[in-house]
A and B are shown apart, each in its own frame.
Chain A
């Protein structure tokens, strides 16, 4: 009796499936519970990976609920690569699709924030532009395009995800209150640091990422968010080491 990996794989992920025939114990009898060692190894290791990847979600739901949820998730979305550092990319959408969790509407965006922190942690190292790279005439600043570090991540949310993250990570952080929050993650050294973005900041950074100059991104953002504070947002990028290059295109005369 030969056991294909398809049969083995199916029985591994489905605890109600029959144990494949052709697997034996020490007395050449059917392996029975011995097969569960592999089932356990898979479920336990992937559940642990989920706890590590989403510590705030685990805290919000409680470890036992996270175990149960991970058990469902890992069967629907087994890892698609051996790089466990990136496991769980489908988790935010999975959470959004769970009807039982619909009263906790902020969970998917909090999970996105945790994913973004991990992407930032493993992103390529880059050299930050010198602190005086933007010490140039104002009209030149507006013409400048910024190169941004791959460790810089940005999230826009209808929920107070920064406050929720902080409340679950810092002793004495204020309790979150309702409201939309946008988050900037920079990695000045090796530790990703999330920060609250001022109103319009995410809109403006998205413009920079699309290749717009500081000035043209600013015009578009200021139309939609008149209170947008360019200086404060630029300072967050600079202080976080997220700017890798400043390129000024002079208009032809």
Chain B
């Protein structure tokens, strides 16, 4: 369990966006920039060049959140020591305001599959994930936030609900949580549960950051709606409504707009961040 005295600086309870290099100049020129930026850790693990130079520059003006997408915390095998060392190096160099990863696996048998793959929620997976998070927090030397996934299917063997599973991980490891409200909406639609019921059961006190993103609509073999977490468009109205529900219960939190595919021009992304600000403005601090 991580010693809480080493908790890092926090992100501001204000809107941030996922940083895309094509927005570099506009972010720096903008008279009303967003409050903070999030980067995908793996994109900044080269030895040098423009990506690291831009990041150095941005980190002088903005709080940065380092969001890992490749650690495979839910993997059956041990964590990749080389990748852990790279994370430690990046976090040590950048000293970001926040560091987060996913409740998912992506590497198996030394193959990295470049997707966040799902896990059964059992006592066995719980123990393994907590061991992995302990190792990550000890190695990187600070608290991490763990993000809930988008689910397209369920595991017959699961014995824990997702909110209870996350609460227990946070309790055992001292990690915080990253609540992705779009993921809750996507999973709730796909697996027929109440998104507000999920939020009611979720340990909101542990939340250090909230994610918002767009999804695509499809359907399964039986014509059941199947939402795909694509991060390729605007956040839909029901997800904004679910965010209001969360903020009413939890108070203001750092909000991030994720837009990773078909990345729009800066003003469109900025408008999403403005909408997040409006959601914060209606919540009493």
Contacts and interface: CB of A to CB of B under 8 A. Distances in A.
Interface of A: 1-6, 8-9, 12-13, 22-29, 31-35, 37-38, 41-42, 45-46, 49, 78-85, 121-125, 150-151, 187, 190-191
Nearest to A26: B192
B42 A83 contact: yes
22 contacts: A2-B120, A2-B157, A8-B117, A13-B111, A25-B221, A26-B154, A29-B222, A31-B152, A33-B220, A34-B226, A41-B115, A42-B113, A80-B111, A81-B112, A82-B80, A82-B112, A85-B45, A121-B46, A125-B49, A150-B47, A151-B49, A190-B49
A187 B49 contact: yes
B107 A124 contact: no
Contacts of A8: 108, 117
Contacts of A23: 153-156
A85 B46 contact: yes
Contacts of B50: 121, 190-191
A24 B112 contact: no
B75 A5 contact: yes
A2 B76 CA distance: 13
Contacts of B108: 5-6, 8-9
Given A82-B106, A84-B42, A124-B48, A25 B112 contact: no
Contact of A25 (B48, B117, B220): B220
Question: Considering the complex of A and B, which 3 residue pairs feature the smallest CB-CB distances, nearest first?
Answer: A82-B70, A122-B46, A190-B50
A238 to B, nearest CB: 20
Contacts of B226: 34, 37
Given A82-B42, A85-B46, A1 B156 contact: yes
Given A42-B114, A42-B115, A122 B51 contact: yes
A24 B153 contact: yes
Contact of A123 (B48, B120, B153): B48
B112 A33 contact: no
Given A42-B114, A82-B71, A22 B49 contact: no
B182 interface: no
Interface in B43-62: 43, 45-53
B224 interface: yes
A191 B50 CA distance: 8
B49 A79 contact: no
Interface of A is mostly: loop
Chain B, interface residues (CB within 8 Å), range: 35 or more
B166 interface: no
**Listed residue (B43, B46, B86, B157) with the most chain A CB atoms within 10 angstroms of its CB:** B46
B37 interface: no
Contact of B76 (A5, A22, A27, A29): A5
Nearest to B188: A26
Contacts of B190: 26, 34
B266 to A, nearest CB: 21
A252 to B, nearest CB: 38
Contacts of B6: none
Given A122-B47, A124-B47, A125-B49, A34 B152 contact: yes
A3 B157 contact: yes
A24 B154 contact: yes
**Listed residue (B48, B49, B109, B155) with the most chain A CB atoms within 10 angstroms of its CB:** B49
A6 B115 contact: no
Given A9-B111, A32-B220, A81-B112, 6 more contacts: A6-B109, A24-B155, A34-B152, A45-B115, A80-B111, A82-B106
B107 to A, nearest CB: 7
Given A41-B115, A78-B112, A83-B42, A3 B221 contact: no
B13 to A, nearest CB: 30
Contacts of B155: 3, 22-24
Contact of A3 (B109, B114, B120): B120
Contacts of A5: 75-76, 105, 108, 117
Nearest to B109: A9
B199 interface: no
Contacts of A2: 120, 157
B140 interface: no
Contacts of A3: 120, 155, 157
B83 interface: yes
Contacts of B192: 26-27
B191 interface: yes
Given A1-B156, A25-B220, A125 B75 contact: no
Nearest to B153: A31
B76 to A, nearest CB: 5
A13 B106 CA distance: 13
